[in-house]
Structure 1
Amino acid sequence: MIKDVLKDAESHMKKTVEVFKHEIASLRTGKASVSLLDGVQVEYYGTKMPLNQIATISAPDATLIVVTPYDMTALQAIEKAIREADLGLNPSNDGKKIMVPVPPLTEERRKTLVKKLHEYAEQCRVAVRNIRRDARDKVKQLLKDKEISEDDEKRAEDDIQKLTDKYIDEIDDISKKKEEDIMHV
């Protein structure tokens, strides 16, 4: 019973950290990265589609992303979608592919990105704490239903706290590393 509660809590915490990693991948670090365009949705034949489903995206060097559409009729729509994605990027096309130069970040933009990173990290920490609360509630219910002893409850609470600390530390480490990437390019 307690094992199930702990396993469930850990799996949710793990997923929360994965979502956090995915969210911050789109934060620019000044280097060209295909993940910068992860959130771009392109209007394609009346449907919004993720850019990576209608084009090949590559970063041949640290200052350029190249987008090659599978269907050349989508070229204008892709260029427009990148421009409107509010990423601070200015794409241009040569009739076959779209070049997206990645300008170096200004100090002000870096600070804005770090602030956004901290918001993501805090949301993630809150999510982990909510998972901890839910797990504790389940353990309290087991005690109330007399399925476990008070000693078992105490041990379970300690284990849940250790899990929480582990994942919050992981979030902090990831956040610190990303902040260094953003500030020291």
Structure 2
Amino acid sequence: MQKAVESTQRSFNTIRTGRANPSLLDRISVEYYGSPTSLKSLANINIPDASTIAIQPFDRSSISLIEKAIQLSDLGLTPNNDGSVIRLNIPQLTSDRRKELVKLAAKLAEEGKVSIRNIRRDAIEAVRKQEKTSEVSEDESRDLQDKIQKMTDKFVARVEEVLAAKEKDITTV
């Protein structure tokens, strides 16, 4: 369940908030010599100022591939190529785009909650199997199921906290 919360947090890091952040590029993969390769392994990513991301490829011949991958991504950013460095200017978000990003964050949070609930379901099924095979008594089974439910509630609340923080970050101008 902790890993589900961490995964949701990593997903939130890929959502743009109006400030330059290298984790915006985490999901981008570049077709490099016929295989998809993460952008991090092909280039050095820097943040020279609050609204710019600079991408300096290790191999200059890959600069056009990186530029193409960024254009095809869902970031909505236009890369500026000067031959050795690609610059991404992060524009200020409009209120409509902020609303869309809040909806996206809510969707990602819901996916995290679903994965936590799936873990709960699997754990409860395991306890019920133990009860059927008489490894645990009926009372112990109920106690374990209650503990599992309380743990699930705790982790779902943690996802809600992370979502609230991300929504605040997105809506702050």
Query: How would you bin the TM-score normalised by the shorter chain?
Result: over 0.9
Q: Partners of 1:163 and 1:172 in 2: how far apart?
A: 14
| Residues 1:159 and 2:140 are matched in the alignment | no
1:132-171 paired onto structure 2 within 5 Å: 132-171=120-159
Unaligned regions of 5+ residues in structure 1, if any?
Answer: 1-12
| Residues 1:63 and 2:63 are matched in the alignment | no
Deviations 1:29-88 (A, max 9, x none): 110000111111112222221111110011122100000000111111111111111211
Residue 131 (structure 1) shift = 1.1
Aligned residue for 1:114, secondary structure, equals helix
Q: Partners of 1:47 and 1:164 in 2: how far apart?
A: 39
| Residues 1:112 and 2:100 are matched in the alignment | yes
Letter in 2 for 1:175: L
Q: Partners of 1:90 and 1:114 in 2: how far apart?
A: 22
Q: Partners of 2:36 and 2:139 in 1: how far apart?
A: 54
Percent identity over the alignment? 45
Q: Partners of 2:28 and 2:172 in 1: how far apart?
A: 26
Letter in 2 for 1:35: S
| Residues 1:130 and 2:81 are matched in the alignment | no
Instruction: Supply the RMSD in Å over aligned alpha carbons.
Output: 1.0
Letter in 2 for 1:81: A
- How many residues align? The count is 173
Residue 94 (structure 1) shift = 1.4
2:23 pairs, out of 27, 30, 35, with: 35
Moved more, 67-76 or 123-132: 123-132
Question: What TM-score, normalized by structure 2, do the two folds share?
Answer: 0.96
Letter in 2 for 1:40: I
Letter in 1 for 2:102: V
Q: Partners of 2:122 and 2:62 in 1: how far apart?
A: 47
| Residues 1:52 and 2:40 are matched in the alignment | yes
Letter in 1 for 2:150: K
Letter in 1 for 2:57: P
Q: Partners of 1:160 and 1:103 in 2: how far apart?
A: 45
Moved more, 86-95 or 175-184: 86-95
Q: Partners of 2:118 and 2:84 in 1: how far apart?
A: 49
Match in the other structure for 1:89? 77
Aligned residue for 1:153, secondary structure, equals helix
Q: Partners of 1:27 and 1:153 in 2: how far apart?
A: 41
Match in the other structure for 2:171? 183
